[in-house]
Amino acid sequence: MEVVLLVFSVIAIILVIQMMKIVPQQEAWVIERLGKFDKILQPGLNILIPIVQRVAYKHTLKEDAIDVTAQTAISNDNVTLSIDGVLYVKIIDPVAASYGVSSPYNAIIQLAQTTMRSEIGKLPLDRTFEERDSLNIAIVAAINQAAINWGIQCMRYEIKDIQPPQTVLKAMELQVAAERQKRAQILDSEGNRQSKINQAEGEKAQVVLNSEAAYTDQVNRARGEAEAILCVAEATARSIEIVASALQKDGGGDAVSFRIAEQYIEAFSKVAKETNTVILPADLSAPHHLVTQALAIFNQLKTRDK
């Protein structure tokens, strides 16, 4: 009797253990009743009816990173590329993930690979390296559109590496080297051009400054000469006024006559010293005739002025 009670106690304990199910946080357990979907267990302690109810599927609700292995794709310009990436997904509907597709993660990987091949085929080789962001966005949009019935949401897709063939890599390296050499030559020519422009502008500025300096010098010289001529003219006019004023005084005419006679005789003597050709008056024995002749010339000029 005691043995029977002990057996029933052990069986009861086993049944209680089977009935109690503890679900961890961020997990969803799908329960079936007699082979048909019944409910989803919430995190914590749950009670199930043995044999009648069973845990059919267990899903984690955390975001998961799935490695997409390297795959080959052909670009728009017929270059074969090897591309691998990583896919970040999350189960948002445990029921759809359990009954909508047999293997949700595998379906997501296959869809990501086919979508990547399709998107790479739309772009030439040069743009595949520039359009990574647009490729990632396009792949995520295509996966989410197809995975609505799978209960999975694709959060993002990242391309890890794009490997073109070795021949293409060498050609790209040569192209980059040629482009750098081209930029260096352009910069060198631009520097020479700018240097010549600066030199020409400097020479132009020098010519302009020299011409302005010459112009200023000529203007200053002309002004100086004009002022000098004006000063000489004013001095001459002043001296003439003084002489004219002196002539109006008593004895002024006799003084002028004497001065003219003196200068006439002095000029005649200089002519005899500076040249071999001398014009002599008719009567050399009477020097006073020279004075008389000079006075006569002065009187004639004076009479003409009157």
CB neighbours of residue 125 within 10 Å:
19
Three-class DSSP category at 227: helix
Which phi and psi (to 5°) does residue 167 adopt?
Answer: -65, -40
Q: Which two tokens stand for residue 206?
A: 């020098």
What span, in angstroms and rounded, lies between the C-alpha atoms of 196 and 192? 6
**Rounded (10°) CA dihedral 215, 217, 219, 220:** 160
First to last CA, the chain: 185
Of 83, 87, 96, 85, whose CA–CA distance to 143 is shortest? 87
Give the number of C-alpha atoms closer than 13 A to the C-alpha of residue 110, restricted to the C-beta side.
8
**What's the one-letter identity of residue 241?**
E
pLDDT per position as a tens digit, 270-284: 655 555 554 555 454
Query: What residue spans define the domains of the chain?
Result: 2-60, 64-164, 169-248, 253-306
What span, in angstroms and rounded, lies between the C-alpha atoms of 161 and 128? 11
What span, in angstroms and rounded, lies between the C-alpha atoms of 88 and 140? 10
Q: Which two tokens stand for residue 39?
A: 């409910």
Measured at the alpha carbon of residue 47, what is the angle toward residues 41 and 48, in degrees to the nearest 5?
85
pTM of the predicted model, to two decimals? 0.51
CB neighbours of residue 29 within 10 Å:
20
64-164 has which fold? Answer: Tetrahydropterin Synthase; Chain A (3.30.479)
For 227-235, the CB contacts below 8 A with 24+ separation are none
Amino acid 272: pLDDT = 53
What span, in angstroms and rounded, lies between the C-alpha atoms of 86 and 218? 85
Three-class DSSP category at 244: helix
Amino acid 98: pLDDT = 87
Q: Which two tokens stand for residue 306?
A: 């009157």
Q: Which two tokens stand for residue 73?
A: 């794709």
Amino acid 268: pLDDT = 60
Amino acid 281: pLDDT = 54
Q: Which residues of the chain have pLDDT under 50?
A: 278, 282, 284, 286
Amino acid 82: pLDDT = 84
Amino acid 276: pLDDT = 54
